[in-house]
Amino acid sequence: MINDFKNQTPETIFRFLSHLGQEADVYSCQSDNLCPTLANDCAYLYIKNHELVIVLIDYVMKRTREIADYDFDDPDAESKFQDVSTPELAHIDVCRTSPVWKLFQGTLSMRDYINLNISEPLKAHAVLITTSDIVNYEDLDIAACSRREGIGMTIFHRSYSFYDQWQSFKLPVNTDMFLPGANYLQIYKHELSLLDYKKEEQEFQDLFNQMLETESDDEDHPDTDDVDDDIDFDTYGFDDDGDDDDDDDVPSPFKPSFDEGALEARIAACKSAEERSRLIVLRAKLAVKYAL
């Protein structure tokens, strides 16, 4: 499948994609939010026989000419496309985030996260179809074809086929959930959700550490009775004094090894984002009050 993509031209690529989306053994889907770097972009995913291809359709105004950054390896440094359609634009430095950078980072992310969970690794390829006239296309193409990460890239610029229909044009796709590609996509979405969860946990930990530092720096130790004014302790298995009902023989108001673990378990089991947020706030308040 990847070799077939490499053999296309700006004039044939849409016809090829129309046929590919109807093949019974190719999983395909279209998404405006396929992965973080391609949020709000029109991207198509194709998976067949351990080959993964992401196609990004990039639509700009007619007669747009741009100079592309062709160093797009750094995930933290967005490379740019600079609009040089007129001398005036060239002087005022009108730029946008490089679609090549977004596509490359998205493809790299998807391949790596999926390959963490399967025995036979996927080969990945990225395809950019853009109406932009890329001034330094040859340099960009050389850079795109020489990636050391094992991800190939094919770029079709000046792709004017269906130009007047691009904003409403939809390619056919095959979202058969019994195809292996559907499972790979679910694996990737699961990995992204875990990444979001870890990010939330790190943000909470940072906030928690700040609260502890603030508490330790406060020499007066003001009354903390108001800390739990808005907490319904009974809902979470604690009485109004913060005691665990089952641990009357424990002299301290809390049994940290038990109570903290119980809250962690409750947080992990939450299905509601609102309930989970409330539990995280509860844990922070209790931790500050009882210096867990």
**What is the rounded average pLDDT of the residues 274-284?**
69
Nearest to 192 by CA among 6, 18, 35, 8: 35
Residue-wise pLDDT for 80-126, tens only, equals 999 998 877 667 778 999 999 999 999 999 999 999 888 899 999 99
Domain membership of residue 274 as a residue range: 193-290
- Beta strands 65-68 and 133-134: pairing type? parallel
Residue-wise pLDDT for 158-167, tens only, equals 988 777 766 6
Co-location of 228 and 108 in the same domain = no
Co-location of 107 and 249 in the same domain = no
- Number of structural domains (the chain) is 2
DSSP state of 227: G
Co-location of 125 and 9 in the same domain = yes
Nearest to 110 by CA among 173, 170, 29: 29
Nearest to 28 by CA among 159, 176, 248, 164: 176
Co-location of 146 and 117 in the same domain = yes
Co-location of 147 and 202 in the same domain = no
Co-location of 69 and 123 in the same domain = yes
Nearest to 69 by CA among 6, 144, 130, 129: 144
Residue-wise pLDDT for 184-218, tens only, equals 998 898 888 776 545 555 556 666 666 666 655 55
Instruction: Write down the pLDDT at residue 226.
Output: 47
Cβ–Cβ < 8 Å for 125, 145: no
Which of 150, 176, 202 is the endpoint of a domain?
176
Residue 185 lies in a domain: no
